[in-house]
Amino acid sequence: MKWLWVVAFVAPTYTIPYNGTAGSTGDRGLALPNASLAHEGHYSCHHPGTGETWATVCLRLGYPPALPAVECWAISYPQAVNCSWVLVPEPLLDTDFVATYRHGVWRATEMGECVRTGPRSCSFGDVQMFSLTPYVVNVTAVNPLGAASRLLPFLLENIIKPDPPEDLRVSPIPGETKKLLLEWSPPGSWPFPEYFPLKYRIRYAREEGSVTKTIGPYEQTSYTLTGVRPGTLHHIQVAAKDFTDSGEFSAWSLPASGTPWMEP
């Protein structure tokens, strides 16, 4: 019975002797039951006498791609739609993505590439406002073990979701021991706040308190918070939404803190 040696150049390097029976798949094959990531590497098969290399193979472990979980939001309405996706579980292998969109479910009036903005994100523009025809985004994941595609249909106004407001400032008001002045700016990614205004929601809490209060929405980009506890640090955040109530509120802004004016 011939003995063969299979050498795996991994860290650490180790040698596997076998004789075509246990753990093998024939005279020149090897099976690795319960393989793990530690078994990844380059394997070579050699003649037992001369050391001649008979075959080499690179072992990579992973999965065929799962259906991509796709999300699309109009963070810069009405200029563009931004989409991103994840794979669960991660395939662990190099995986390519193709992202396209069309306007219409069956007979598309417009089709195109969703331009990649990152490894797992893309965007497209020139969208039609108030259209009752849905857009459909198609994301296909491809790796050596297979391919998987996901279609995501949506109406444009249903996916409006601004980025969080920016530059939140919390200031004391001279002479007012129970008030704070809040000021902020619309998100920089929202292109036309004068034509497509936003409304804002505010949440705040005292530093030593566990209760968070939420108020609003308000149309302006400033607000006087009243009834706060004198001499107490307050933490504030603001979220934005399309004025017509389409879509969803943004995530909360970065927090800002302030203490009401105190008598000198």
**pLDDT tens figures, 101-134:** 999 877 767 789 999 999 999 999 999 999 999 9
pLDDT tier, 49 (very low <50, low <70, confident <90, very high otherwise):
confident
Residue 211 to residue 232: CA distance in whole angstroms: 14
Residues 231-244 have a mean pLDDT of: 97
Whether 166-258 and 69-159 are alike in CATH topology: the answer is yes
Distances (CA, A) of 222 to 22, 186, 239: 75, 11, 13
CA 133 to CA 140: how far, in whole Å? 23
- Per-residue pLDDT for 252 more than 90? yes
Q: Is the dihedral of CA 85, 248, 238, 163 positive or negative?
A: positive
d(CA 171, CA 181): 5
55: confidence class by pLDDT, cuts 50, 70, 90: confident
Q: Given this model, what pLDDT does residue 32 score?
A: 65
Euclidean distance between CA atoms 258 and 61, whole angstroms: 53
CATH number belonging to domain 166-258? 2.60.40.10
Averaged pLDDT, 44-49:
77
204 close to 235: Cβ distance less than 8 angstroms:
yes
d(CA 63, CA 28): 26
Residue boundaries of the structural domains of the chain: 4-59, 69-159, 166-258
pTM equals: 0.79
Residues of the chain above pLDDT 90, percent: 70
Q: Choose the CATH number for 69-159 among 2.60.120.200, 3.50.50.60, 3.40.50.300, 2.60.40.10.
A: 2.60.40.10
pLDDT at 7 (0 to 100): 38
**Span 11-26, pLDDT tens digits:** 333 345 544 433 444 4
| Per-residue confidence (pLDDT) for residue 58, from 0 to 100 | 73
- pLDDT on residue 40: 64
pLDDT for the residue 54: 77
CA 146 – CA 173 distance, rounded (Å):
63
